[in-house]
Amino acid sequence: MNIGVLALQGDVREHLRALESSGASATPIRRPDELAPVDGLVVPGGESTVMSKLAITFELMEPIRKRIAAGMPVYGSCAGMIMLAATILDGRPDQESFGGIDMTVRRNAFGRQVESFEGPVDISDISGGPFDAVFIRAPWVERVSEDVQVMGRVTAGPAAGRIVAVRQGNLLATAFHPELTGDLRVHRYFVEMVRRTDDSD
């Protein structure tokens, strides 16, 4: 099982390490031909407007959209959540996404870099207690369709109740960065998603 990490921009190495530690082979993806062999894809945190432009420049936007439509499992963290959203608020007018999750996401919803924080998030389907979530210029989800499973919300503070983890079919997204914490539960959950998709093919 080989899982790619979109390596155009963002915290690529951290995701590669987390996937390897979770039992998967992990490969950086920068070109369309590198995308073809992978069984799943991680879209990392970073800057979503830059990631959108680079995906177009490197001719990855349409191939990734097609793989998503064909059922490839994808996990997006922070900027990756934005890239999987059907609708983006506070983005650039020309910003594009891969889409796939029927949700509306607001960029930088928690504030600027200096307002980054850590806080507990309970994630349904993932045991072991609250996740110590790292939010860095993070988005939140303002709308989901009935096809989207809300897996996690902020539990305390002024943003309490905001949606920060979702799943729709083979697509998973979090507003926070599990790759920065050493807690592998989200990556293991995604690896298992990919494994089950492989087994059903």
Active site residues: 78, 177, 179
In sequence order, the β-bridge partners of residue 149 are 167
Q: Which phi and psi angles does 197 have, rounded to 5°? A: -65, -40
Contact 171, 68 (CB under 8 A): yes
Q: Which phi and psi angles does 46 have, rounded to 5°? A: 155, -130
Of 186, 13, 10, give the one whose Cα is nearest residue 83.
10
Q: Please give the Cα distance from 16 to 4 (Å, whole number).
A: 8
Of 75, 92, 90, 97, give the one whose Cα is nearest residue 139.
90
